Structure 1
């Protein structure tokens, strides 16, 4: 049975891009911190980029390790951080991840509604203006693709608030539509709860990533292409427009 780790601080504070704190533990090339503005990645979302600074020394964060006590930050080089540590994420990259993740929810919502509950099979966010979302679908018509694109852009234009709340994991599983992935789902938290992301009046689903504060902060999208990735898997290639 896999360990159930506390969820990252960044999930509940996506707009906090810097923090200071003392190490809980350290070793060459790594430091354990109780709180961190860094999102360590997961669910198709890329890990945050940024730096740690202590005693005038600055090092890039190159990876993460989960722990029941907190999050280990792996840094370039073999120094062991000590004293007061300043953590700073790359703000523009976090904004891009929040935008792509929020748009992915909008695409998911439109596909789920227009294709009789079609489930998500994968998300691949990137460091550019294009990313992909996969669904358990067999075929699509040009008219159906336009309907998905129009629904997403309408939700962006509506500027709907995006919020999150916790609910009992078993209650969430019993409610239709909160778990949208075909084979994976956000894990049960140590307290028996699951985080639900709510796009006001439009969509609710279990999710452990970071998001925009409202849909209007996202750019309009175009569905650039749909690839066949198996007999019953279609990859939507999404482009964020200027």
Structure 2
């Protein structure tokens, strides 16, 4: 069975949900599986959410990571957390401030794809800075020029929303896929895309802001050579 099919992924449709009611459906070595969740699992360079599960009788289980398991999304509890049983009802609550900063950092990486030519060879989303690695022959891009172009797109307040295409549609449009080493998951009949209106369209399962104006001011803080043609571009949020 494909991972996460047993867990309804509420964050896919609405990244702004912070809580939900859920039921424990499995207990595995690494943690707790729920029938539905607002917790995003580590993937696509974006860290898994942290937060808490709260029982009806007031027990609080601190969640320190969220991962994709073999049969669903696994919520990893802190060591020494209260135990749960299958069938228990809980309120799942993410650390919204941390998640929102990840959203404000993930969307700029898609903007970066729109202004930098070349395939993506790797990436990582952080709370205050993130990076993408590009396969770029020739000279390194200019930091000041990229910074200006990114902030122009932020100020344009372009709408951001997910949409879906069939496996066949994606196969017929291979240019939508920018990543060179990791391909989007197929085999379930459809693939989730992130559409930044008039700017960028590519497969992505992560969480994002609703409009680029929410991102805030950006800075291309570093461009490094990581090989003959590999360039690492680091983007930072300017607010503390």
Category of TM-score, reference length = shorter chain: 0.7 to 0.9
Per the alignment, residue 108 of structure 1 pairs with: 113
**Partner secondary structure for residue 150 of structure 2:** helix
Q: Distance in 2 between matches of 1:27 and 1:208?
A: 24
Displacement of 1:65 after TM fit?
4.6
**Partner secondary structure for residue 209 of structure 2:** coil
List runs of 5+ in structure 1 lacking aligned partners.
Answer: 113-117
Displacement of 1:126 after TM fit?
1.8
Q: Distance in 1 between matches of 2:238 and 2:95?
A: 22
Displacement of 1:28 after TM fit?
7.8
Q: Distance in 2 between matches of 1:130 and 1:69?
A: 32
**Superposed counterparts of 1:1-242, under 5 Å:** 3=2, 5-6=4-5, 8-26=9-27, 30-54=31-55, 55-67=57-69, 70-76=72-78, 77=80, 79-82=82-85, 83-112=88-117, 118-127=118-127, 129-140=128-139, 144-188=142-186, 190=188, 192-242=189-239
- CA shift in 2, pair 1:149/1:215, >3 Å: same
Residue-by-residue CA offset, 1:166-207 (whole Å, 9 max, x unaligned): 1112311321431000111221152x1000110011110011
Q: TM-score, normalised by structure 1?
A: 0.87
Q: Distance in 2 between matches of 1:130 and 1:67?
A: 27
How many aligned residue pairs are there?
233
Q: Determine if contact 1:29/1:79 at 8 Å carries over to the other structure.
A: no
Per the alignment, residue 115 of structure 1 pairs with: none
> CA RMSD for the aligned pairs?
2.2
Displacement of 1:57 after TM fit?
1.1
Displacement of 1:12 after TM fit?
1.8
List runs of 5+ in structure 2 lacking aligned partners.
Answer: none
